[in-house]
Amino acid sequence: MKWFNGVIDWRPVLALIVFWFGSVIAEEQGVNSLSDFQWCNRLILVEEANDPDQRVEALRQHAAGIDDRDIVWFVLGNQGIQSNLEEPGRDLQRDVRKTLRAQPENVSVVLIGKDGGIKQRSRVLDVAGIFALIDTMPMRQREMR
């Protein structure tokens, strides 16, 4: 066993363990802003004041494709925000509202990539079209390999 200590440098192993525990603790604490999803998830933000349930149902019908593409979605309506997250916190809801309200007047759907950049702005929710766009992105191409 003495030879084993000389072969392995334990510092990187220890750093990896600390990083892993830190990510587990951060995950348990939840997310507070849209930037917390960066490099982990793509985001679909939908503003639908009149009939948000129709948009939510359209997204739920595509649950398998949404899961496969690491998408988290938020639908903002008059009664609050619905999401495929269990319970988006108050700070996260505020960030979703702020991002949607910052868009041009005719935009009600925003696609944000894993890099945190806005990839598409649209008037209508076209889930199949969003999937097609995501599937052309280099990061998604690597994920599919």
Q: Is residue 21 in a domain?
A: no
CATH code of the domain covering residue 140: 3.40.30.10
Instruction: Report the number of distinct structural domains present in the chain.
Output: 1
Q: Could you tell me if residue 25 is inside a domain?
A: no
Tell me if 84 is assigned to some domain: yes
Residue 16 lies in a domain: no
The predicted pLDDT at position 116 comes to 96
Give pLDDT tens digits for 61-93.
Answer: 999 999 999 999 999 998 899 999 988 999 999
Q: So what's the pLDDT on residue 28? A: 44
Residue 68 lies in a domain: yes
**How, if at all, do strands 109-112 and 118-122 pair?**
antiparallel
**DSSP state, residue 89:** -
What does the alpha-carbon distance between residue 69 and residue 114 come to, in Å, rounded to a whole number? 10
Largest separation between any pair of C-alpha atoms in the chain: 70
Domain of residue 139: give its range.
34-144
Q: Do the domain assignments include residue 90?
A: yes
Average pLDDT value for the chain: 85
Residue of 65, 21, 25, 23 lying closest to 44 (CA atoms):
65
Question: Hey, what are 4's tokens?
Answer: 């084993």
Rounded to the nearest 5 percent, the helix, strand and coil shares of the chain are 50, 20, 30
Q: Is the per-residue pLDDT at 16 higher than 70?
A: no
Q: Say if residue 20's pLDDT is above 50.
A: no
- 3 versus 131: the higher-pLDDT residue is 131
